[in-house]
Amino acid sequence: MLMKDLFDKIYKDKGPLGKWAEQAEGYFVFPKLEGEISNRMKFQGKEVVTWSVNDYLGLANHPEVRKVDAEAGAKYGSAYPMGARMMSGHTDLHEKLQKELAAFVHKEAAYLLNFGYQGMVSTIDALVSKEDVIVYDVDAHACIIDGVRLHLGQRFTYKHNDMESIEKNLMRAEKVAAKTGGGILLISEGVFGMRGEQGKLKEIVALKKKYNFRFFVDDAHGFGTLGKTGAGAGEEQGVQDEIDVYFATFAKSMASTGAFIAADEEIINYLKYNLRSQMFAKSLQMQLVEGALKRLDMIRTMPELKNKLWENVNALQGGLRERGFDLGTTQSCVTPVYLKGSIPEAMALVKDLRENHGIFCSIVVYPVIPKGLILLRLIPTASHTMEDINETLDAFSAIRERLENGTYKRLSAHVAAAMGE
């Protein structure tokens, strides 16, 4: 067999999403939303109701948050502290934020991460050795999949949120672990960001009576939005104590950059010395740490933020369901609207929504979801208004009619032909 140039495959196949780059880039993918993060932003010079940002609690442009961010920037600049935590990037304020986060999510200790994605990858990597077995949801986020890929031992996926499949795979994992002398790590998400379902945390922790495993939960979308105090999906389901390692990001409810993990103190002390993405990369900047302390304080002391979020979630989801839209099985703020159609039809539909109705939401198609389905994902926030919601409901009724009567099929016929769809 002849050796090839490494880049040959890239020249021939741009991947399932890359093949649409010519038609999609700058509009459907890599669009430029401009202006302050808010319920209404500018897209290509036109005001649009924005349902694509995860600013759940409306903190991104809250005047109190902006004030603290600006003061912290003036005080520290964007460099301090330089270096990794272990070397020169550790401060009293980093420790203060960790203690407050741990208390908020009802854990003994927490550790700050400079970025959520790589923090998740490193945490999985640090928790397991080659004798151990990982059991994880087939719909897990990319950062979980990348973390699992680093694992040198066995791994099993279970059917999404399927308790029978979880149990079957725990049995398989126990057989392997009995031979290798290892343990089992089970990974779920608090909220699955595409479908909006909560992970079956309560049911999974009940399995600890039958099987010996540790439970790791990625609660990126649950933190700040679920639970009586906003402490996330574990609090919502009454099982926070049974989650062995809890992860949340600052990129959503906290409207910032960074993340944290929380667990028993001994586990956090171990991770502190073994998380490669934190040992060999820069510490979270001080202006972000000060900003996170302010945001956490607001989440703790201003329940009206979460109340307003859920008022908007219920109005939007209720209105869509009343109009007969399929929202799947969402149990969170994430609002997926499922429609039937091809990728070219989806492109025509989204263009109509943005150009003629002034509605900007994210579009998800194959290979993320099955072929022939279009998923429009809306993220309600505390900063949306009833006017935004009513305009959106009217727009969705109009686009469904055009999808069903073949308008988008006709409008997209030339794209479909060109792409062989």
Average pLDDT across the chain, whole number: 93
Instruction: Answer yes or no: do 285 and 321 share one domain.
Output: no
- pLDDT for residue 90 is more than 90: yes
Instruction: Answer yes or no: do 292 and 315 share one domain.
Output: no
Give mean pLDDT, residues 256-282.
95
Give mean pLDDT, residues 161-175.
97
Residue 259 is predicted with a pLDDT of 97
Residue 44 is predicted with a pLDDT of 93
Instruction: Answer yes or no: do 285 and 340 share one domain.
Output: no
Q: Establish if 393 belongs to a structural domain.
A: yes
Give mean pLDDT, residues 110-128.
96
Instruction: Answer yes or no: do 39 and 74 share one domain.
Output: no
The beta strands (E) that lie in 141-243 are given as 155-158, 184-189, 214-218
- Contacts of 314-321 with CB under 8 Å at 24 or more apart are 315/386, 315/389, 316/378, 316/380, 316/384, 316/389, 316/392, 316/393, 319/389, 319/390, 319/393, 320/393, 320/396
CA 50 to chain centroid: 18
Instruction: Answer yes or no: do 35 and 90 share one domain.
Output: no
Instruction: Answer yes or no: do 145 and 285 share one domain.
Output: yes
| pLDDT tier for residue 221 given thresholds of 50, 70 and 90 | very high
Among 63-72, 183-192, 260-269, 358-367, the minimum mean pLDDT is found in 358-367
> Mutual orientation of helices 92-104 and 286-301 as an angle, nearest 10°?
30
Residue 24 is predicted with a pLDDT of 76
State the CB neighbour count (10 A cutoff) for residue 216: 25
Q: Establish if 207 belongs to a structural domain.
A: yes
Q: Establish if 116 belongs to a structural domain.
A: yes
- pLDDT for residue 420 is more than 60: no
Q: Which of 254, 277, 301 is the last residue of a domain?
A: 301
Instruction: Answer yes or no: do 100 and 182 share one domain.
Output: yes
Q: Which residues contact 17 (CB under 8 A, 6 or more apart)?
A: 29, 367
Residue 244 is predicted with a pLDDT of 98
Whether 81 contacts 72, CB under 8 Å:
no
Q: Which of 258, 279, 301 is the last residue of a domain?
A: 301
Interval 59-85: pLDDT, tens: 999 999 999 999 999 999 999 999 998
| Nearest by Cα to 51 from 394, 399, 377, 305 | 377
Instruction: Answer yes or no: do 193 and 211 share one domain.
Output: yes
Q: Which of 301, 332, 362 is the last residue of a domain?
A: 301
Give mean pLDDT, residues 407-421.
69
Q: Establish if 397 belongs to a structural domain.
A: yes
Domain that holds residue 390: 8-56+303-419
Residue 83 is predicted with a pLDDT of 92
Residue 414 is predicted with a pLDDT of 64
Whether 161 contacts 140, CB under 8 Å:
no
Give mean pLDDT, residues 112-140.
96
CATH number, domain at 110? 3.40.640.10
Give mean pLDDT, residues 139-156.
95
CATH number, domain at 342? 3.90.1150.10
- pLDDT for residue 419 is more than 60: no
Q: Establish if 3 belongs to a structural domain.
A: no
Q: Establish if 75 belongs to a structural domain.
A: yes
Residue 331 is predicted with a pLDDT of 95
Interval 339-385: pLDDT, tens: 888 888 888 889 999 999 999 998 887 777 778 888 999 999 999 99
Residue 418 is predicted with a pLDDT of 54
- pLDDT for residue 17 is more than 80: no
Instruction: Answer yes or no: do 74 and 91 share one domain.
Output: yes
Give mean pLDDT, residues 195-210.
96
Q: Establish if 2 belongs to a structural domain.
A: no
Instruction: Answer yes or no: do 150 and 275 share one domain.
Output: yes
Q: Establish if 405 belongs to a structural domain.
A: yes
Instruction: Answer yes or no: do 105 and 30 share one domain.
Output: no
Residue 344 is predicted with a pLDDT of 83
Interval 342-351: pLDDT, tens: 888 888 889 9
Instruction: Answer yes or no: do 296 and 309 share one domain.
Output: no
> Mutual orientation of helices 63-76 and 286-301 as an angle, nearest 10°?
160
Interval 299-330: pLDDT, tens: 999 999 999 999 999 999 999 999 989 999 99
Among 20-29, 316-325, 328-337, the minimum mean pLDDT is found in 20-29
- DSSP string across 232-298: -HHHHTT-GGG-SEEEEESSSTT-SS-EEEEE-HHHHHHHHTT-HHHHTSPPPPHHHHHHHHHHHHH
The domain total for the chain is 2
